[in-house]
Each structure stands twice: as structure tokens, then as C-alpha cells.
Amino acid sequence: MKNDSLCLITGGGSGIGRATAIKFAQNDYKTIIIGRREKALFETIKMAGRHGSNLSHIKCDISSNDEISSLHKKVVSKFGDVNILVNNAGSSSSVRSIAHIPVDQWDDVLNINLRAVYRLCQEFLPSMIKKQDGTIITVSSMAALNPGLLGGAAYSAAKSGVTNLMGDINAEFSNQGIRATAIMPAEVDTDILTNRPLIPDKAARSTMMQPEDLAEVIYTCAALAKRTTVETIIMKPTIKRDLSADLQMAKEKIT
């Protein structure tokens, strides 16, 4: 992949999205970051230092179908066609159990983690197919493979769906120059953890992967020669921590 590629990263204002944006910028990829909080997007650009000139931002709420449609028009008009799409933005429910999760939390998780990815792919795929040049990388989760209370019912369902969606894209469009990757990490020290029934403390977070670890892998998948597709990647912390308290708290959380 040449550095004249144009990359779009969702959830670029924090965590994995921020680290990935900085990684691409450091390697001279023109990159657009999107997110709900414009101040956080500015902070990402600032943190990129002298490489911040490679970053641009667009405020966008990907839970809105209209905003995704508008995003595509803005990107094409101002920057041109995207050929690297990184679906990173995610959401989890505070109630994990399928027996108790409210409909609004279920809908929010499925909307952000699955429906928004489908819509973004649908908007940006046509130009990729036309040029026979496109890489779509989606941050899924180990919850897709090991569903349960740690991630929660809605999150597990959404991440399983989005992992298969990447497989669908490869099955249908690989012969047209399209590559799709689902990355399935276990625990990563990001802001999404604050929505857990038991928020991990400093000791727990110290064993987790960091956003920069994911950024390295995302960048590698995008930068590989076009003849190669990495379909799925599983990432885990080297040290396994005791999750019994986390699971018990998730079991007890009903509202």
C-alpha cells in the first residue's frame, strides 16, 4: 500500500483509534479521524506532533444513518476516495446479561458495533471496488469467539456479526482487490472499560494490552502488499488475570 492512500478511522478521539491515527500519520499516510467529540479529535492531531499535518478530522456520530451518508459526501468532496477504512469505534452496555439488558442498551451496542460498520462499508466500498483497491480493518473482539458476561450479550452478538461481515466482504469482493480484516483482541486498556459493572483497577489494567499494540497490528495489515489478506487476528495479553470478580459483578448487574 502506497503512502498516497487515504485512510479513514472511526473513534479517532481516544484509545485504539487515536493510537492508530498517530501510527498512520507517522508513516505519512493521509488520515481522516472521525468521532462525536471534536475536542478529542483535535487532541489526537496535537499528540501526533509534527506528523499532525497528515491528520484531518470530521465530527460525526456514526449511530446516525444520516450522518454517515453526510460523512461520505464530505470526505469525497474534500479529500477524495478512501481506500483504507478502519472501523474502530465501539460501544458496550452497562448491563451484560441477556436476561436483564434493556432494549435501549441492546440497540445502542448493535447500532454502533454492527450497523454502523455495515453502513460505512456500504458507503465507501463502491469506490474501492471501482478502483480495485480497498482495505477494511475492523476492530472486533475476543467476545466474538468467547461470548459471555465479561463482554456481555449484546457486545458478543455484535462483534460476532461484524467478524462475519468482514468474512462476507472477502468472500464477495477479494477478486476485485478488496481486503477485509477482523481483529479480535482480548482486554485492552481503553475508556470502554469504564462501562463495565466492575471497573478494572490499576493493577488489572497493568496486565492488559495497550492501544499502541493494536495500532501496530492495524497498520501492518494495511501496509502489507496487496497480494496478501489477513482475514482474522486474535490478540491476548500475555499474562492471564483472575476474572472471577468481574464475572460475578456482571452477573449481579441487572439495572
Give the pLDDT of residue 67.
97
Contact 222, 167 (CB under 8 A): no
Percent of residues, the chain, with pLDDT higher than 90: 97
What would the mean pLDDT of 28-53 be, rounded to a whole number? 97
What would the mean pLDDT of 188-211 be, rounded to a whole number? 94
Distance (Å, rounded) from C-alpha 252 to C-alpha 213?
32
The terminus-to-terminus CA distance of the chain in angstroms comes to 47
Spell out the SS3 assignment of the chain: CCCCCEEEEECCCCHHHHHHHHHHHHCCCEEEEEECCHHHHHHHHHHCHHHHHHEEEEECCCCCHHHHHHHHHHHHHHCCCCCEEEECCCCCCCCCCCCCCCHHHHHHHHHHHHHHHHHHHHHHHHHHHHHCCEEEEEECCHHHCCCCCCCCHHHHHHHHHHHHHHHHHHHHHHHHCEEEEEEEECCECCHHHHHCCCCCCHHHHCCCECHHHHHHHHHHHHHCCCCCCCCEEEECCCCCCCCHHHHHHHHHCCC
Per-chain mean pLDDT for the chain: 96
- Using one digit for the tens of pLDDT, what is the confidence trace for 113-134? 999 999 999 999 999 999 999 9
Question: In CATH, which of 3.40.50.300, 3.40.50.1220, 3.40.640.10, 3.40.50.720 is domain 6-252?
Answer: 3.40.50.720
What would the mean pLDDT of 47-65 be, rounded to a whole number? 97
Tell me the domain boundaries of the chain.
6-252
Give the pLDDT of residue 1.
43
pLDDT of 31 above 90: yes
Distance (Å, rounded) from C-alpha 71 to C-alpha 191?
25
- Using one digit for the tens of pLDDT, what is the confidence trace for 152-188? 999 999 999 999 999 999 999 999 999 999 999 999 9
Give the pLDDT of residue 3.
75
What would the mean pLDDT of 90-96 be, rounded to a whole number? 95
Place of cell 460498520: 117
pLDDT of 235 above 70: yes
Reported as a pLDDT band with limits 50, 70 and 90, residue 255 is confident
Give the pLDDT of residue 2.
46
Distance (Å, rounded) from C-alpha 53 to C-alpha 56?
8
Distance (Å, rounded) from C-alpha 23 to C-alpha 211?
11
Distances (CA, A) of 196 to 82, 85, 91, 96, 103: 34, 28, 11, 8, 18
Over the range 93-108, which residues count as b (16 or more CB within 10 Å of their CB) and which as e? Answer: bebbbeeebeeebbeb
Burial of 112 (0-12, 13-18, 19+ CB in 10 A): buried
